[in-house]
Amino acid sequence: MDSNAENRQERRFTYRWPIWFGQDRTQTASFGIMEDVSNGGIAFTYVDSAVPLQEGQTLMVRFSLPRFDTPDPKATIGVARTGHIRWITAVGNDVYQVGLQFDTPLSLQPAEEAALTAACRDAAL
């Protein structure tokens, strides 16, 4: 199902960065690469190495986002969220892209949202 582009309700921040995901905190986490993120969800890719994911499944994800309250361009903040898989799309040999809707949205502040909007706009150019 490649309906992910139509399901996006807000602009997303394109940010290719590592993401770790699993059923819960007690399970060994699997590795993926974040594609983009918004307050309501995240898209990431992963290589299917005995990690069968399916739509509707609950996942715990851990990832980092840039900090906008410091002049240090390398500063990040760690985020952990649970959510439900909304879609999965095969994008290559054993490579899949996943769309996850957060159970609790991110709470970005107005300045952070403005920075994300600017980054989204710059990425589109």
Q: In which domain, by residue range, is 25 found?
A: 13-124
What does the alpha-carbon distance between residue 31 and residue 98 come to, in Å, rounded to a whole number?
A: 13
The candidate with the shortest Cα–Cα distance to 65, out of 56, 50, 75, 57, is 75
The torsion angle over the Cα atoms of residues 36, 41, 44 and 50, rounded to 10 degrees, is 180
Q: Is residue 3 part of a domain?
A: no
pLDDT for 2: 43
What is the domain-level CATH number for residue 96?
2.40.10.220
The gap between the terminal CA atoms of the chain, to the nearest Å, is 28
Could you give the number of structural domains in the chain?
A: 1
Task: Please compute the mean of the pLDDT values over residues 41-46 and round it to a whole number.
Answer: 94
Q: Is residue 56 part of a domain?
A: yes
Which amino acid, residue 120? C
What does the alpha-carbon distance between residue 46 and residue 100 come to, in Å, rounded to a whole number?
A: 13
Q: Is residue 99 part of a domain?
A: yes
pLDDT for 1: 40
Percentage above 70 pLDDT, the chain: 74
Q: Is residue 2 part of a domain?
A: no
Q: Is residue 89 part of a domain?
A: yes
What does the alpha-carbon distance between residue 83 and residue 60 come to, in Å, rounded to a whole number?
A: 7
Q: Is residue 67 part of a domain?
A: yes
Task: Please compute the mean of the pLDDT values over residues 34-58 and round it to a whole number.
Answer: 89
Which 3 state secondary structure label does DSSP give 59?
strand
